[in-house]
Copies of this chain bind each other. A is one copy, B any other.
């Protein structure tokens, strides 16, 4: 009974129920194909984490995203 936990920083456009269902279906299929697990034995848990609670490179995601946006804009101008 594998347990798979997917952790994601919440995005501006929230992950839809359809996308979550596709994650659950896709990851379960990988467990079945690679490890020959029965699908009904696979548990998938998705955690969407507030963007300000997620950091990379020492900075919260909203700061990182704002910088990337500014970089795109100055490239475009």
- Identify the A interface with B (CB < 8 A): 1-9, 15, 17, 19-31, 33-35, 39-40, 42-49, 52-60, 63
Most buried by B among A49, A56, A63: A56
State whether B2 touches A55 (Cβ < 8 A). Answer: no
State whether A45 touches B7 (Cβ < 8 A). Answer: yes
State whether A58 touches B45 (Cβ < 8 A). Answer: no
State whether B24 touches A60 (Cβ < 8 A). Answer: yes
State whether A27 touches B30 (Cβ < 8 A). Answer: yes
Across the interface, A44 reaches (CB within 8 A) one of B28, B31, B44, B55, namely: B55
Across the interface, name the chain B residue whose C-beta is closest to A26: B30
Q: How far is the CA of A65 from the CA of B72 in the complex (A)?
A: 31
In the bound complex, residues from chain B placing their C-beta under 8 Å from that of A22 are 30, 34
